Amino acid sequence: MIKAGKYDAYVAHASADKVYPGTAILYIPDVHGIWQNSKLMADQFAANGFTTLIVDVFNGDKLPDPRPEGFDIMKWIQYGSGGEENPNPHTTECVDPIIEAGLKVLKENYGATKIGAVGYCFGAKYVARHYKHGISAGFVAHPSFVTEDELKGFKAPLSIAAAETDSIFPVELRYKSEEILRTSNQPWQINLFSSVAHGFAVRADLSNKIAKWAKEQAFLQAVTWFNQYLL
């Protein structure tokens, strides 16, 4: 664990004999933030040659697990767990500076001149939003709340892993994303995984053979994408 400015972060270092000089990955997590699964995945990216930084985009207030009965995730995004009385919002105005702090650390502390960004669920939106701050290639899985304008503004190679069952990134949004990416003049890819649901690339039930395969394939999709467009 390190600090990215005033925010907590987790860094996984690529080994000296494997590291790709000048490259790094910014890992923007789902609503569970920095936890066992995201750390293990950052370690896997590092094992494949990319020093990887996860930033605490929730400023110490990741989603409660398990969620309380009747939990309102949209209210949590708007105010944080403290509600209106003690707000710690997770809106774009609050998350954007955290992403920028993470990118700054990768550039200044780790010498990254080419940065790949991965975003899972909540984190996907911020991959799209921060192209202008030095992201050279992106990968997102089961993206959440990415607007058309944000996707249009991402002017770098982008790979998407989508779930067959996903109320947040349904068929209509997937088709719309394809329409936008076809006009981007950038390399793009959308892989659709059957028999899995939103969150599979991070939180798959590894005792389920299909879910385990899809999770592993989505990770390999990200690695091969960065091997092609970041190196």
**Which positions are annotated as active-site residues?**
121, 166, 198
Cβ 119 vs Cβ 48: under 8 Å: no
Cβ 151 vs Cβ 180: under 8 Å: yes
d(CA 148, CA 127): 13
Rg (CA), the chain: 17
Burial letters 162-190, b for 16+ CB under 10 A, else e: bbeebebbeeebbeebeebbeebeeebee
Q: Which of 144, 85, 106, 80 is nearest to 26 (CA)?
A: 106
Q: Which of 120, 121, 128 is nearest to 168 (CA)?
A: 121
Query: If you search the block for the tokens 């349904």, which residue do you land on?
Result: 170
Q: Over 124-137, what HEC string results?
A: HHHHHHCHHHCEEE
Q: Which of 104, 95, 106 is nearest to 128 (CA)?
A: 95
Question: Which helix (DSSP H) or strand (DSSP E) does residue 9 occupy?
Answer: strand 7-12
